[in-house]
Chains A and B, each alone.
Chain A
Amino acid sequence: MLEIKNLHASVEGEDIEILKGVNLKVNAGEIHAIMGPNGSGKSTLAKVVSGHPEYEVTQGEILFNGEDITELDADERAHMGLFLAFQYPVEVPGITNKTLLREAYNTIARANDREELDPLEFEDYITEKLDVIEMKDQFLSRSINTGFSGGEKKKNEIFQMAVLNPVLSFLDETDSGLDIDALKVVSDGVNKIANSENAIVMITHYQRLLNYIKPDHVHVMMAGKLIKSGGFELAEELEANGYDALEKELVLNGEAQ
């Protein structure tokens, strides 16, 4: 489904490379976790894959269902089924959740020659999805993320994901700032959305989230590269020994630069 090949990227107009050759393959039905210390490039990877204009791909390519999407705009990628749950969801006063989601849903539907939903049909559709994150109707009429608590903002990202039904979702530090109850609601939501047709890539600093959403593959990112991949046991190892230990081990084995 997703194939990232030797991806290098830097901030647009600046010379500092943040991604230094990322390789990643994600298949339908899989859940991946990318872990790594702060500043390793995890969030940048999510943004670059989603098409953030702040970053420039200097080398390599991103293939999505076989198509090179490296040069596409963020909305074109969204139309193909890519989704990014933001680490810091943006507040947009004056536009309600419902307005944004109907516009987004119908734009994506149009791009894929699917039928658009009229306001009434959409109301039914979206209300049903509220269950995914255990939110009340009022949530729909509130301005996007405006005055939301940290937990509500993260729930809103998962809610949007449920409504837009993407093929591949990047969840950027969705667990950060969540208390234990909110974390359960959010992970339950993600588990309800996950199926054999779609795929999820979680980006996280801690193992905490992975106890609720079990990944099939775990990757460790350091200094702009995925330096080690494995199963769930890799996450446990990291939790027990920390990133430093892993780094030392890799140096000893001559695997790190």
Chain B
Amino acid sequence: MSEVIQRDTMLSYITGSVESSAESVAIRAINERGREDLEKTPFPTRKDEDWRFVDLKSITKSQFCKLEEANAADVGDISEHYLPEAMNCRLVFVNGVYNEELSSVEDLPNNVIVGNLAANADNNSVKEHLGTITNYDDDVFAPFNDAAFTDGAFIYVPEETVVRTPIHILNVFTDAEKAFYATPRLLYVGEMFSKSTIIEEHIGLADNQYLNVPVTEFKMFTGSNVHHARIQRDSKNASHVSRPIAILDKNAEYHSYTICLGAKLFRNDPRVIQNAEEVNFTVDGLVLIDGNQIADTHSIMDHRFAHAGSHQLHKVVVNDSAHSVFNGKIFVAKDAQKIDSFQENRNLLLSENGKVNTKPQLEIFADDVLCSHGATIGQLQDEEVFYLQSRGLTEQKSRELLVYAFALESVESMEVESVEKLLLSEVIEYTNRDNK
């Protein structure tokens, strides 16, 4: 007797069907491919190794509708979220939809493109690279974005061009009557020896429930260089599942820094793929969670050729009943000699009920490499608190300073002053919540 068990797919949690309304033929082709993948791929459960620590209830106990059916609130004035350094270099997406009025792109070097995908669908780089970099096996989230996106951000930096102004990709989410889904998309193409700084932000303006599934693709040509900061401040009831991926040609440098503050469920799977010799990359993270938040990072640093330098510092602060998961994979292929890779996961537990799962995973098939990894889980040391307190600082201030110091290193990687200031005030607010 044979029995076919029908497992749920991503579509089980979506109201209605996911149909493409994209005008561009190229985008519609990706939509079609995404839909096919979605229909045949079962939704993950805790029996899947990559999902065993994560409670996906905040997705599976809900139904998410199209934005049009959600009766979402107007965006209002969001100028407090603009970065002074990127005043004229900002793309705004409201609930995943490009908002030209709030965006401002001026004074860019010649031939640099910072715009929306739909308007640039005929650009050769879009046609060539969009949807070709994402590479997640047995995944439902990247295909979901593939199936549903109709627009997104497109950044193109030509050869030998440096964009000195940080480029701000601001995704805001408004309050809504129904839980909706959004599929923000970002394609970055850096030509030979180009350079830029990208600040990708996700901000929930209210505390409503929504599902944010962004995909970012970075195509880095020879000698190109990107500093990619990602700041996740989604609503405390949102679910955010990210698929950021970068592919690096010879001498390319890609440095990413993901800051997780918001969302009820945050799952981030950054991947960096080495496509030629001699590359450098960073996959850093800072997670500050409390309440019942879950933050899960599953990263892959994929060394396929010789001479790469890569490092990952993943710092986590957990309070209340929050739960952090970290699974950092370092792959080194057989012929990828002279790799220098370093991974560290440091966790600071502030409460009895907080939970941390950490699993470094090294798969090395080359014999002349230098790879190290480490994970620590600690609490604030009483002796540290007493030391500061004996100097006159209150216990609360002492704890605040110690958490601040723990997070500082990651914040200082932002390289954009207003972002650093913003994050430091977020850190202080986080430690003050601790006291309530």
Contacts and interface: CB of A to CB of B under 8 A. Distances in A.
Interface of A: 50-54, 73-75, 77-79, 83-84, 86, 89-90, 92-95, 99-101, 103-105, 107-108, 111, 143, 160, 164
Contacts of B404: 94-95
Given A53-B382, A95-B401, A95-B405, A103 B387 contact: no
Given A93-B405, A94-B406, A94-B408, A84 B390 contact: yes
B409 A75 contact: no
B409 A104 contact: no
B383 interface: yes
16 contacts: A52-B390, A53-B386, A73-B389, A74-B386, A74-B389, A75-B394, A78-B390, A78-B392, A86-B387, A92-B402, A94-B408, A100-B391, A100-B393, A105-B392, A107-B392, A143-B405
A111 B391 CA distance: 13
B392 A104 contact: yes
Interface of B: 381-384, 386-395, 397-398, 401-402, 404-406, 408-409
A146 to B, nearest CB: 10
Given A92-B402, A103-B393, 14 more contacts: A74-B390, A75-B398, A78-B389, A90-B384, A92-B384, A92-B387, A92-B401, A92-B405, A94-B405, A94-B409, A100-B393, A103-B401, A104-B392, A107-B394
A26 B389 CA distance: 23
A192 to B, nearest CB: 20
A53 B383 CA distance: 10
Contacts of B409: 94
Given A50-B390, A94-B409, A75 B383 contact: no
Contacts of B405: 92-95, 143
Contacts of B393: 75, 100, 103-104, 107
Contacts of A111: 392
B420 to A, nearest CB: 14
A105 B392 CA distance: 8
Contacts of B395: 73, 75
A75 to B, nearest CB: 5
Contacts of B384: 90, 92
A77 B394 CA distance: 11
Name, among B383, B386, B394, B395, the residue most crowded by chain A CB atoms within 10 Å (CB to CB): B386
B interface secondary structure, majority: helix
Contacts of B387: 86, 89-90, 92
Contacts of B391: 78, 100-101, 104, 160, 164
Contacts of A86: 387, 390
Contacts of B406: 94
A95 to B, nearest CB: 5
Contacts of A51: 389-390
Nearest to B381: A90
B392 A164 contact: yes
A100 B390 CA distance: 11
Contacts of A54: 382, 386
Contact of B397 (A90, A101, A107, A160): A107
A143 B392 CA distance: 18
Contacts of A73: 389, 395
A90 B392 contact: no
A86 B383 CA distance: 11
A52 B386 contact: yes
A78 B394 CA distance: 10
Contacts of B392: 75, 78-79, 104-105, 107-108, 111, 164
A165 to B, nearest CB: 11
A247 to B, nearest CB: 32
Contacts of B394: 75, 107
A111 B389 CA distance: 14
Nearest to A108: B392
Nearest to B387: A90
Pairs of residues from A and B, 6 with the lowest C-beta to C-beta distance, nearest first: A94-B405, A78-B392, A90-B387, A104-B391, A74-B389, A104-B392
A75 B394 CA distance: 6
A201 to B, nearest CB: 15
B389 A75 contact: yes
A203 to B, nearest CB: 15
B397 A100 contact: no
A58 B406 CA distance: 36
A143 B119 CA distance: 50
Contacts of B397: 103, 107
A61 to B, nearest CB: 20
A108 B394 CA distance: 10
A228 to B, nearest CB: 29
Contacts of B383: 90
A92 B383 CA distance: 11
Contacts of B398: 75
Contacts of A89: 387
Nearest to B405: A94
B126 to A, nearest CB: 43
A111 B397 CA distance: 15
B115 to A, nearest CB: 40
A92 B388 contact: yes
Nearest to A89: B387
Contacts of A53: 382, 386
Contacts of A105: 392
Nearest to A170: B390
Q: For B382, B387, B398, B406, which residue has the most chain A Cβ atoms within 10 angstroms?
A: B387
A218 B408 CA distance: 46
A172 to B, nearest CB: 11
Contacts of B389: 51, 73-75, 78
A100 B381 CA distance: 17
Contacts of A75: 389-390, 392-395, 398
A246 to B, nearest CB: 32
Contacts of A93: 405
From B382, B384, B390, B393, residue with most partner A Cβ within 10 Å: B390
